Amino acid sequence: MMVANSVEIFNLTKKFGDFTAVNRMNLSIKKGEIFGLLGPNGAGKTTTISMLLGIVKPTSGRITIEGLDAEKASSAVKQVVGFMAQETIVDSDLTAYENLEIAARLYHMPHEEWAKRIHEALEWAQLLEFKDKKAGTFSGGMKRRLYLVKSMLHAPKIIVLDEPTTGLDVQNRVEMWKQIKELNSRGVTVILTTQYLEEADQLCNRIAIIDHGELKAMGTPSELKRMVSKGQVLEIITTQQEAQKVAQLLKSKFGISSDFKDDKVTGLIEDDPIEKLPHILNELKKSKFTVAAVSMHLPTMDDVFIKLTGSNIRDKAGEFQSDRNALLTMR
Amino acid sequence: MLVFKSNIKTNIIRSIIFPIVIIFFFGNINASSFNTSIAVVNYANNPASFAFINDLQHGQSLSVVNVTTQQSALTLLHNSKVSAVVVILPTFPTKGSGSASDVDVYYSESNFAAVPAALSTISSVSEGFAVDPSTFSQAFNTPPKPVDYGLSSVLLYGANTNYKTFLTAGIIAMVAAFGSLFGGGISLITDRQLGNLKSFLLSPISKNAVILGKVLSGTVQSVLYGVLALAVGLIAGAGVAMGALGVLWIILIVIMISLGFSGVTIILASRMSQIQTYSILGNVIVLPMWFLSGAFFPSSSLPAFMQPFSTFNPMTYAVSGMRDVMLVGYFPMSSILLDIGVLAAFLAFGVLASFKLFKPNIS
């Protein structure tokens, strides 16, 4: 059966007691794309993913994966979905080969295919020479690579990556990006969550932003940016004493609402920013404000995020905890 | 490969130290007992017999249960409800003709901690009634048959034994419970902490298969530790009266109790994230069950208000079943029905409840 969408989510709702983790979400993820799921901590990303993976039962709504109903055909769905969790799940007491052998057994792979698949996987992860070494002796990056190929061993059509690069150093992160792109080029649909907005911006074909369990916006990174504003973001670096006055000046003379923090004033110029910039500079000069630097750019994913969720992505540690607790009592 | 992962050495050492310490050291204890329950069957029903019973009750050492038939008295004895049965024959107190006896005393050494005191009281009381205390005949094989005149005492079920054998059965039950506690529950918590549980649940294998795997892991460890404890007991001087077949019965009983226990520990562990909390709670549940199961002393010597805790305790039946094959030398059908029946029910409960009440608790 040919289906255009890898994942379709209809009216998905999940409640933990009184707390609604996911509220009537509708979402479709196309075949072969890299899809980013962004949201502040506690927004319902983990819950959505858990329902997608079939380890949490939705309160209502429906998910189809590769045309299969996620609830009714749960074990068939599990064969086509791979998952890589935030933490690295490899067994330190077992060798790289044994780790993969367990994955092969868990996914009911035919016995005669094991050797070939495991060999390929180890080769891809550049771990072939370490195949009989215990995973406990591996470096963080090696373990992560082993875990990625372990999640991919059953050749899923969709792979879900939960914050794949959190905690990795820059080198390993770039390596992980490369591997994600390579997977995607083989036709695997990639669904990822991330805290790094620049990562989502670079990697994802489309992004969904969710907050309080609701879908706030969905589109390509540039669509999302245009959605926030046609204008540009203005940043003025001045002194701490004058920041407030600069903000007041922007409001009174040009009608620009801005925020200031320490010595930095940030505002959005909605109409005709290129035309307005010189006037602003003149006005600043006239008022004899100290101006250390001025910059103007298109909104970033950060701006999109803040505009849509009203918060910075790392601001909601408290809510994150409550989501965790709710998940702990699930099922 | 995965069952014994990482901590098999620690587990084996721990589970072997336990029997060594307890059987070798505490095995030498000679318990004395107070207010021992005995059953009296009075077939004479004459003033002399009433006086005899009265004298038995006099003092604090015996507590007399009046029973109408010898058969039901022996049932009480077998179920460890009483430590001895005194049968007053119709001829009492006139000495019967020939070699017939007036009073028969039946006792079983499975309650031996209380028995010596009880027997000496009975014989000293009987002296006052001119019934000659006969030589106590040991090592009678079934069926018991009174042969002596005067007071005859018959050791039921024949096996000669000591406290070490008595204790070994209890220790085997204990290490089996520990095997379940550590092999089932703790390995589940460890797997959850390592994330393995998540991988298992994400794969197409069924959730119950994961649970069953953990239950079997606990059971395999229990059987291993049970066999080790038995070996320690045999070295210390305990015996299995039934022989090799008895060992198989013991293994079967260990398998049954630990399947049930593992199920229970998995329900507990699946709701807890800290090994420490789980260990404390596990011990709080298992240790009292063990003490009340008659592992250390006959459960008949527990105070009355504690008896129900012993009756509704699956471990009691595991200990009693093992004790039958180790002390008595054969497994009476009524015991098989009761002990194995209760264990089978506990097994079914433990495993099915773990399927039903399991919480993956992964996030």
Give the integer Cα–Cα distance in Å for B235 and B134. 35
Phi, psi of B144 (to 5 degrees): -70, 135
Task: Report pLDDT for B195.
Answer: 82
CATH no. of A5-226+316-328: 3.40.50.300
- Please give the average per-residue pLDDT across A296-312, as a whole number: 77
Give the integer Cα–Cα distance in Å for A84 and A106. 15
Instruction: Judge whether B64 and B56 are in contact, CB under 8 Å.
Output: yes
Task: Report pLDDT for A329.
Answer: 44
Burial string for B302-332 (b: 16+ CB within 10 Å, else e) reads: beeeeeebbeebbbbbbbbbbbbbbbbbbbe
Express each pLDDT in B63-120 by its tens digit.
888 888 888 887 777 666 777 888 887 777 665 444 456 777 877 665 556 676 777 7
- Please give the average per-residue pLDDT across A213-217, as a whole number: 87
In total, the C-beta contacts within 8 angstroms joining chain A to chain B are 59
Rounded to the nearest angstrom, the minimum Cα separation between B264 and chain A is: 18
Distances (CA, A) of A37 to A13, A151, A227, B218, B362: 17, 19, 17, 40, 20
Smallest CA-to-CA distance from A310 within A211, A182, A195, A187 is with: A211
Task: Report pLDDT for A326.
Answer: 45
Express each pLDDT in A103-117 by its tens digit.
898 888 888 888 888
What pTM was estimated for this model as a whole? 0.68
Q: How many CB atoms lie within 10 A of CB B68?
A: 10
Average confidence score pLDDT of chain A? 84
Give the integer Cα–Cα distance in Å for A194 and A45. 10
Give the integer Cα–Cα distance in Å for B242 and A321. 59
Percent of chain B residues past pLDDT 70, beyond the cut? 77
Task: Report pLDDT for B219.
Answer: 93
Chain B residues within 8 A of A91 when measuring between CB atoms: 5, 194, 196
Is pLDDT above 50 for A98?
A: yes
Considering the segment(s) A230-298 as one domain, its CATH architecture is 2-Layer Sandwich (3.30)
A 103-132 residues with CB below 8 A of B? 103, 106-108
Express each pLDDT in A84-96 by its tens digit.
988 888 888 889 9
Residue A75 at interface with chain B, using a CB cutoff of 8 Å: yes
- Please give the average per-residue pLDDT across B309-325, as a whole number: 89
Task: Report pLDDT for B155.
Answer: 53
Task: Report pLDDT for B342.
Answer: 93
Cis status of the peptide bond prior to B93, with omega within 30 of 0: yes
Average confidence score pLDDT of chain B? 78
Nearest to B204 among A87, A91, A108 (CB): A108
Residue B205, class by beta-carbon neighbours within 10 Å (0-12 exposed, 13-18 middle, 19+ buried)?
middle
What strands lie across the sheet with A81-84, from one edge to the other? Answer: A81-84, A158-162, A189-193, A34-38, A206-211, A214-219
Angle at A83 between CA A79 and CA A88, to 5 degrees: 135
Residue owning tokens 């039903």: B356
Mutate which of A46, A49, A98, A102 to test chain B, going by most B C-beta atoms within 10 A? A102
Task: Report pLDDT for B110.
Answer: 55
Give the integer Cα–Cα distance in Å for A72 and A77. 9
Judged by CB atoms closer than 8 Å, whether chains meet at B204 and A78 is answered as yes
Express each pLDDT in B121-130 by its tens digit.
777 777 666 5
Rounded to the nearest angstrom, the minimum Cα separation between B195 and chain A is: 5
Q: How many CA atoms lie within 13 A of B184 on its CB side?
A: 34
Beta bridge partners of B213: none
Is pLDDT above 70 for A314?
A: no
Smallest CA-to-CA distance from B319 within B218, B156, B160, B174 is with: B174
In this prediction, residue B154 has a pLDDT band, given cuts at 50, 70 and 90, of low
Domain B36-155 belongs to what topology? Answer: abc type-2 transporter like fold (3.40.1710)
Secondary structure (DSSP) of A186-240: TT-EEEEE-S-HHHHHHH-SEEEEEETTEEEEEE-HHHHHHHH-SSEEEEEE--H
In this prediction, residue B205 has a pLDDT band, given cuts at 50, 70 and 90, of confident
Give the integer Cα–Cα distance in Å for A9 and B77. 68
Judged by CB atoms closer than 8 Å, whether chains meet at B363 and A93 is answered as no
Rounded to the nearest angstrom, the minimum Cα separation between B217 and chain A is: 16
- Please give the average per-residue pLDDT across B202-225, as a whole number: 90
Task: Report pLDDT for A243.
Answer: 87
Tokens of B96: 């019967």
Instruction: Judge whether B268 and B282 are in contact, CB under 8 Å.
Output: yes
Instruction: Judge whether A96 and A44 are in contact, CB under 8 Å.
Output: no
Structural domain boundaries in chain B: 8-26+162-357, 36-155
Task: Report pLDDT for B133.
Answer: 40
Give the integer Cα–Cα distance in Å for B201 and A271. 53
Instruction: Judge whether B81 and B338 are in contact, CB under 8 Å.
Output: no
Express each pLDDT in A33-52 by its tens digit.
999 998 887 788 888 888 88
- Please give the average per-residue pLDDT across B333-361, as a whole number: 89
- Please give the average per-residue pLDDT across A249-264, as a whole number: 85
Structural domain boundaries in chain A: 5-226+316-328, 230-298
User: What ipTM was predicted for this assembly?
Assistant: 0.71
> What residue of A is the nearest CA neighbor of B200?
A106
Express each pLDDT in B237-277 by its tens digit.
888 878 889 999 999 999 999 999 999 999 999 888 888 88
Residue A263, class by beta-carbon neighbours within 10 Å (0-12 exposed, 13-18 middle, 19+ buried)?
middle
Task: Report pLDDT for B254.
Answer: 95
Rounded to the nearest angstrom, the minimum Cα separation between A75 and chain B is: 5
Task: Report pLDDT for A188.
Answer: 92
In 3-state terms chain A splits into helix, strand, coil percentages (rounded to 5) of: 40, 25, 30
Chain B residues within 8 A of A46 when measuring between CB atoms: 363
Residues 6 or more apart whose CB falls under 8 angstroms from that of B314 comprise B257, B260, B289, B342, B343, B346
- Please give the average per-residue pLDDT across A59-78, as a whole number: 87
H or E element that contains B233: helix B207-236
Is pLDDT above 50 for B350?
A: yes
Express each pLDDT in B15-29 by its tens digit.
788 788 777 766 665
